[in-house]
Amino acid sequence: MNTDQVPRYRCNACGNLTRFDVTSRRRTRAFHHFDVSGDLSVEAETVLEEETEEVSCRWCHSSGSVVGLEAPEKVEAPERGVDGNPESTTGSVARSAEG
């Protein structure tokens, strides 16, 4: 499953942001590969349709108070030099002329 497409949720009843029971219906196409002994290996599964039917809060069990949140823009961390300073990305540490 591509987690970039899964929305974040928030329970307005208790404030939960991390634990939800999600009931969904999915239609997929997959390649079923049976080996000689009959063991199945499912490969190359593609999701054709997916519908979320219900989202409920794992903490307070509310389903009517759960809302989807807009995904925040991904922010990349600034590149840092060896001294930890984001402005010195050359990899060398500045030394004093006196020392």
Could you tell me how far CA 35 lies from the centroid of its own chain? Answer: 33
pLDDT at 92 over 80: no
**Number of domains forming the structure of the chain:** 1
Q: Pairing mode, if any, of strands 66-69 and 8-11?
A: antiparallel
The CA distance from 70 to 21, in Å, is 19
Question: Does 41 fall in a domain?
Answer: yes
Enter the pTM of the model. Answer: 0.57
**pLDDT tens for residues 36-90?**
999 999 999 999 999 999 999 999 999 899 999 987 665 566 666 666 655 555 5
Q: Report percent pLDDT > 90 for the chain.
A: 61
Range of the domain at 14: 7-69
Question: Does 50 fall in a domain?
Answer: yes
Secondary structure (3-state) at 4: helix
The CA distance from 21 to 25, in Å, is 13
Question: Does 74 fall in a domain?
Answer: no
Closest C-alpha to 69, from 11, 14, 3, 24: 11
